[in-house]
Amino acid sequence: MPPGTPPRRFTGALSLVALACACALAPASAWGAASRPGDGDLSPRLAELAKPAVRSAPPGKQADALSVATQGPGSLVREGNRVLVEVRFDRGAAVGAGDLRAAGAKVLNVSPRYQTVTVAAKASELGALSSVPRVANVNEVLAPIVHGAGDPGPVSAAAVPCFGGATSEGDAQLRANLARAEFEIDGSGVEVGILSDSFDTDGGTERHQAEDVANGDLPGAGNPCGQTTPVTILEDLETPNASDEGRAMAQIVHDLAPGASLAFATAVKGDVVFAKSIEDLRDGGADVIVDDVAYFNEPFFQEGPISVAVSNVAASGVSYFSSAGNNNLKAGGKDIASWEAPQFRDSLGCPEELEVLGFETSHCMDFDPEEGAGHSDDTFGITVKEGADLTVDVQWGEPWYGVEADLDALLLDSDGAPLVEKLAGKSFLVGSTDDNVDDVPAEIFTWTNDGPERVVQLALNRCAGICNPAASGAVTPRVKIALLQNGGGVSSTEYHEDLEGDIVGPTIFGHNGASDAVSTGAIRYNGGAAPEAFSSRGPVTHYFAPVVGKTPATSLGSPTVLEKPDIVATDGGANTFFGSCATGVWRFFGTSAAAPHAAAVAALEREAKPEASASDVKEAQLEGAAEVGVFGPDAVGAGMIDAVAALEWLGVASAAPGALPESPPTPFACEAEEPEAEPDPRIDEIENQIIAANPAAPTQAASNDFRDRLAPRTAFRRKPPRVLRTPWRWGRAVFRFRSNEPRVAFLCQFDRKRYRSCGQRFVRWFRVGRHVLRVRARDAADNVDRTPAVYRFRVKRVSHRAYRRHRGA
């Protein structure tokens, strides 16, 4: 914050202890009239992270206190013992980069366009960053959404010869195999750039790049099909969160366009770095670029820095494809993943419990669109499933860097009491309370429901006056809430249909719905009559010009409505390592898989007709698309890609009419190992623990004559290596479970702690040392497996050099 700016209120991961002190020094209704000592220009979360009690806590405890995800989307992005942050300057970012280095930060990128320096910094160094001259603010980088999903499906097959051990069925579904045979093309002479999380840095995968090349699933030296040009890696990601989704995307492109050359860059180092990587891929020679990433802070109501980069490369002739997202939620046949009001409606009050804590302004959003007595509602109810993460992204209709309203998002229980997380003797409110004035109009947070399914309530408070002297209490912008859930975790919402101008459903946003990107939805590899239920819906509506610097963009004369998605393509196709091991085959689900299918077809188009423009390539896909059931453009765009029809629309002459592809090879099998037998003599006590920990699991009442007493069996579908190597003090272990019975619940015990409910997929950070995980299935009749599946492993810390050497072996 520049000198002379009025003091800020309490923001961020609010400490109840701090609030109690504030209320003791002011009237009971006063809320945070002065900022906390030492906050400086740090975001509220970073200010808390910099404190010794928080920065010394394990990552999971830190995440709870800061209202961020423990790992994956919405978590802090880490590089070793550092966190990634974006430092925004009023001016002089290039000069300021040197000062940040002197303060101990590792500079990753400097953007003069946005006066932003992306750095990796230790938590103990954060305070020094805010003291650098001309710094406006310092914000954490939250890990973006990577649009992969893992729903299993039956095995199908269709491919072309010499494509390796696993070929996506999308090759046949989209008729790319026929296009290659009929037009004698394979993508040669075209380069496809891929942006995702990582390429070959996940130590927990069954296969790596070297095996993929040797088996013909990726190009490179030793490829048996003659595609020997290796994938160009501009920059990979080496963090514990790496999943190598980019390599799975590359396999898809190689399946459909085996002659195309491939390049990769990580997109998980902040939105500004992502935007630069898009242009770097273009400058490196990419003709087609595809990504499967979305940042939570990307604007809903205008095109942000990433979308601007997409427009820049599209203007250079590059065909750009982006995943539409996996954020659609279904309830009662309706799409409920977002809620939007045409303006902020002041309820002239807030939930009583928040007012007791000191929310003096008492101006919370009224979610009930009807006017008159009895039609005011200051909370938005959300039903969250057991064990699910709830990720809430609230944005409002003001341009970046021209924000006047300051909204806060807080989560309450069903009785209206604020939800809290505890750390080091302090209680932290769940929510997000950034100071948004002259910055970004967004509040984002994640909360984990550790108990059974429950209803929580979202409150949006407009902070002005004593609460925030710099904020306006008069502006009433549009307000949109998006539940970014990757297709699950929320079973219902209080307001689930369009009413009085309020809009429910659309979740395509940011560059995923950019005007110059081909937004790609997903359709299952063995389907064709409907898009995937999770595939995000459109349209996208912009009210402001794009973000091209730190000057606020102007309002558009009339809103621009973009019909999104543009197209749908295959997901769930076979690959060698990523996604779900469904019926013995690895399957990659999500719009992350759909987008590279579409990009590969574009590579075939560009080889067949090199003079075609990016708009020609897109138009050919849209005009040649096949209809998808009765679904409209908000769900499927123009329809499902048909590679042959697209090439015909471009006027490409057939080289070999009637040619047919050969049968594909059998995909690699993925096998689940049998569990170790280890009966536990304390089974009755354990069963009581399990039932108490998971009371909401389905039960079957016993009849007088008969009750199912056959216990289910439990096994591991996936588990980490026996020795899990990591250059950090913690190792990330990923497990998947299965049972011989349907509709079971799983209970996990690690290192002989108490059994707790866990999902079919279990991910946890383990300290360096030896560990044991026991898993039991519990069926619908409350029978618990008496012989748990057991896995023992060790987390071993190695040097970064040894870790990289091990990963490349």
Per-residue pLDDT reduced to its tens digit, 442-476: 999 999 998 899 999 999 999 998 889 999 999 99
Domain positions in the chain are 16-77+141-145+330-504, 153-328+525-626+634-649, 683-808
Mean pLDDT value of segment 251-262? 97
Q: State the fold for domain 153-328+525-626+634-649.
A: Rossmann fold (3.40.50)
Domain 16-77+141-145+330-504 in CATH 2.60.120.380: yes
pLDDT of residue 585: 87
Q: In angstroms, what CA-CA distances link 303 with 196, 549, 614?
A: 20, 12, 20
pLDDT of residue 163: 66
Which amino acid is located at 466 in the chain? Answer: I
Q: In angstroms, what CA-CA distances link 566 with 146, 291, 360, 719?
A: 19, 15, 46, 38
More confident residue, 253 or 528: 253
> How far is the C-alpha of 509 from the C-alpha of 293, rounded, in Å?
11
Tokens of 152: 């299993």
To which H or E segment does residue 211 belong? helix 209-214
Tokens of 719: 């588990």
Mean pLDDT value of segment 161-183? 89
**Residue percentage of the chain with pLDDT more than 90:** 64
Residue with tokens 């203007």: 315
Residue 776: name the closest of 685, 711, 709 by CA.
Answer: 711
> How far is the C-alpha of 153 from the C-alpha of 168, rounded, in Å?
13
Q: Identify the sign of the CA torsion 296, 299, 301, 304.
A: negative
- The torsion angle over the Cα atoms of residues 133, 84, 64 and 403, rounded to 10 degrees, is 50
Residue with tokens 């993943």: 337
3-state helix, strand, coil in the chain (%, to 5): 20, 30, 50
Mean pLDDT value of segment 655-659? 69
Q: Is 70 exceeded by the pLDDT of residue 785?
A: yes
Inter-residue contact 145 to 296 (CB < 8 Å):
yes
More confident residue, 765 or 690: 765
> How far is the C-alpha of 544 from the C-alpha of 558, rounded, in Å?
9
Q: Is 50 exceeded by the pLDDT of residue 699?
A: no
Cis peptide before 154 (omega within 30 of 0): no
The predicted-structure confidence for 88-108, as pLDDT tens digits, reads as follows 999 999 999 999 999 999 999
Chain-centre distance for alpha carbon 229: 31
Mean pLDDT value of segment 621-631? 95
pLDDT of residue 662: 67
Q: State the fold for domain 683-808.
A: Immunoglobulin-like (2.60.40)
Residue 263: name the closest of 224, 235, 227 by CA.
Answer: 235
Q: How buried is 776 (Cβ within 10 angstroms: 0-12 exposed, 13-18 middle, 19+ buried)?
A: buried
The predicted-structure confidence for 195-224, as pLDDT tens digits, reads as follows 999 999 987 777 899 999 999 999 999 999
> How far is the C-alpha of 176 from the C-alpha of 185, rounded, in Å?
10
The CB-side HSE value for 704 (13 A sphere, CA atoms) comes to: 0
pLDDT of residue 365: 96
Q: Where are the strands (E) in 683-798, listed by range? A: 714-718, 723-726, 730-739, 745-750, 756-758, 761-767, 769-778, 789-797
Read off the pLDDT band of 41 (50, 70, 90): confident
Residue 21: name the closest of 12, 11, 13, 32 by CA.
Answer: 32
To which H or E segment does residue 420 belong? strand 420-423
> How far is the C-alpha of 247 from the C-alpha of 264, rounded, in Å?
9
Cβ-Cβ contacts under 8 Å for 96 (sequence gap 6 or more): 87, 89, 117, 132, 133, 134, 135
> How far is the C-alpha of 211 from the C-alpha of 225, rounded, in Å?
14
Provide the mean pLDDT of the chain: 86
Cα separation of the two ends of the chain: 48
Across 376-385, 450-459, 590-599, 799-808, least confident range: 799-808
DSSP 235: E
Q: How many CB atoms lie within 10 A of CB 155?
A: 16
Mean pLDDT value of segment 492-511? 96
More confident residue, 62 or 158: 62
